[in-house]
Amino acid sequence: MSDFNLIVKERKEIIDNYLLSLFKNDNKYNNTLYECMEYAVMAGGKRLRPIIVMLVWEMLTGEKEYKKILPIAASVEMVHTYSLIHDDLPCMDNDDLRRGKPTLHKKHNEAVAVLAGDALFSYALEMFLIADIKHENLLNGLKYFLQCVGPKGIVAGQFVDTEIEKFSRDEETLHYIHNHKTATLIEACFAIPALLLGSNESDFEKLKELGRKSGLLFQIIDDILDIESNEKTLGKSTAKDIEQNKLTYMTFYSPDRAKELALKQYEEAIDIIQTLDFDTNIIEKLITYFKKRAK
SS3 108: coil
The reported pLDDT for the residue numbered 142 is: 98
The reported pLDDT for the residue numbered 243 is: 65
Question: Hey, what CATH topology would domain 3-209 get?
Answer: Farnesyl Diphosphate Synthase (1.10.600)
- Number of CB atoms found within 10 A of residue 286's CB: 23
Residue 5 corresponds to which amino acid? N
The reported pLDDT for the residue numbered 93 is: 86
pTM of the model: 0.92
The reported pLDDT for the residue numbered 242 is: 61
Burial degree of 184 (CB within 10 A; 0-12, 13-18, 19+): buried
The reported pLDDT for the residue numbered 257 is: 93
Closest CA to 210 of 81, 56, 15: 56
DSSP character for 102?
E
**pLDDT below 50 — which residues of the chain?**
295
The reported pLDDT for the residue numbered 174 is: 94
Rounded distance between C-alpha atoms, residue 279 and residue 246, angstroms:
40
Distances (CA, A) of 266 to 59, 65, 147, 214, 286: 19, 28, 25, 7, 11
For 266-278, the pLDDT digits (tens) are 999 999 999 999 9
- Number of CB atoms found within 10 A of residue 294's CB: 18
Rounded distance between C-alpha atoms, residue 187 and residue 228, angstroms:
26
For 213-263, the pLDDT digits (tens) are 999 999 999 889 888 765 555 555 555 666 667 789 988 899 899 999 999
Closest CA to 242 of 258, 219, 224: 224
Give me the residue spans of the domains in the chain. Answer: 3-209
Determine phi and psi for 92, rounding to 5 degrees. -120, -100
